[in-house]
Amino acid sequence: MAQNKPKYKNVLLIRFSAIGDVAMTVPVIHSVAQAYPDVHFTVLSNQRFAPFYSGTPGNVSFMGVDLKKDYHGFGAMLKLFLKLRKCHFDAVADLHGVLRTTALSIFFRLAFKKVRRIDKDRRSRKRITRQHNKDLSQRLTSFERYQIVLEKLGFSFELRFCSIFGQGKGDLSAISFMGPKECPWIGIAPFAAHKGKIYPLYLMEEVVAQIDSSYLCRQFVFAYGKERILVEEWAKKYRSVELIDTRLGMSGELILMSHMDVMLAMDSSNMHLASLTGTPVVSIWGATHPAAGFLGWGQKPEDCMQTDLPCRPCSIYGKKECIYGDYRCLTGIDPDTVFSKVKTYL
C-alpha cells in the first residue's frame, strides 16, 4: 500500500546497462508500481532487456533504445532528450549514474523537471577491495540503492517481488524442443564477463560429472559463441548435459530458468536472470564479494560459495588480474562442496 500521495504522475526510470544491474531494477520497479497504481512509470533501457519487464504491473511501460546505433556520438543525449520531452515526464530517476545519464539529468533539470540520481557510494566500496584492513561489512544492495532514488522522489514502498512470472512458471510450450519436465532440471552457467569471476572449467566439470553420476536429471549448460566450444565435450561425455545457446533468446532463457530446481552460476548476469524467475541459485564468488551488494534477488548468503583469503575481494566487478596469477580464490573452492550445496535443492 502507498504510504503517501505521490507528487508525480509520469516518472521516467533510466538504467542502460549492464545486464545484471538492469535485472536488479525489476523487483524495485515492480514494487513501486504495485504501491502506486495511479502513477505511470516508464523504463528507459537497452531494447534487448524488454523481456525483464513483461511481468510488471500495467502502469509500467518499457522504452527500448539502441545507444550504439541511434544515440552514439556528440549530441546523442540531447537528441534523446528531445525525444523524451514529448512524453511529458514530470520526474526522472537516474538509476545508472554515468556520464550519459548525467547529461540527460541536466537537460531535464534545465526543463524544470525533478531529477534524483543513484548514489553508488564508491568511496565505501574501495574499503572492501583495499589491500589491507578490508572492510567486509555489508553495503546497501543495488535494490536498496534503487529504492532510495525513488524514495527521494516521494515514493514510499516496501520491496515485494516473487518472479516475473508471478506465482507460477513460464510457459514451456513456447520452447518447442524442450519437452515436458519429468526429472530434476539444473542450470549450469559456468562463464562470466571477467576471469576473476569464472570457476576453472576443469573444476566445474567435476561438479557436472558428480551430478550426472548421482541423478537422473537434465543439466542445461548456458554457453554462447566461443564459450560453447569450451564445453562442447561435456555434452558428449555426460548423458544429462545439454547446451543452451542464443537460439532461445532472452525470453526463452527466462522461461527455462523458471523451471529449474536450482541454478549453479558465477557472480554473473545468469545469477540475476535466474533470480528474476524465483529460482534458487548456488553462486560462486572469486575476486568479487557479496558484501558489495550485488547478490541476486532473494538469494541466500549461505548459497554463496567462496574462500576466505586476505587478498579477497580484490575487485568490485572482477576486472583486476590476480596478484598471484593463480586465482586461488577460485581454485580453492572444492567441487565436492559445490556439489553438496547443489544437492540440497534436489
Cβ–Cβ under 8 Å, residues 297 and 143: yes
* pLDDT greater than 90 at residue 176: no
Over residues 195-205, the mean pLDDT reads 98
SS3 222: strand
Query: Which region among 24-38, 173-187, 207-221, 291-305 has the lowest average model confidence (pLDDT)?
Result: 173-187
Over residues 280-306, the mean pLDDT reads 98
Measured in degrees and rounded to the nearest 5, phi and psi for residue 193 equal -70, -25
Reported as half-sphere exposure (CB side, CA atoms, 13 A), residue 231 has a value of: 27
pLDDT of residue 2: 46
How many CB atoms lie under 10 A from the CB of residue 325? Answer: 7
Q: Which residues lie closer than 8 Å to 311 by C-beta, 6 or more apart?
A: 131, 323, 324, 329
Percent of the chain whose predicted confidence (pLDDT) is above 90 = 92
Residue with cell 552457467: 189
In the chain, count of helices (H) and strands (E)?
12, 11
For CA atoms 275, 277, 280, 285, give the dihedral sign. negative
* pLDDT greater than 70 at residue 286: yes
Per-residue pLDDT tens for 213-261? 999 999 999 999 999 999 999 999 999 999 998 889 999 999 999 999 9
Q: Which three cell numbers stand for residue 29?
A: 520497479
How many CB atoms lie under 10 A from the CB of residue 326? Answer: 10
Length of the chain: 346
pTM: 0.95
Greater pLDDT, 248 or 148: 148
pLDDT of residue 73: 77
Residue with cell 572492501: 128
* Cα 14 from Cα 118, distance rounded (Å): 10
Q: Is the peptide bond before 50 cis (omega within 30 degrees of 0)?
A: no
Q: Is the peptide bond before 6 cis (omega within 30 degrees of 0)?
A: no
Q: Assign 178 a pLDDT band (cuts: 50, 70, 90).
A: confident
Distance of CA 248 to the CA centre of its chain: 18
E strands along the chain, which residues?
10-14, 40-46, 60-65, 91-94, 114-117, 185-189, 218-222, 241-244, 262-266, 281-284, 304-305
* Cα 147 from Cα 157, distance rounded (Å): 8
pLDDT of residue 3: 64
Per-residue pLDDT tens for 110-128? 999 999 999 999 899 899 9
For the chain, state the CA radius of gyration: 21
- Can you name the residues that pair with 115 across neighbouring β-strands? 92
Over residues 145-170, the mean pLDDT reads 96
Q: Average pLDDT, whole number, for the chain?
A: 95
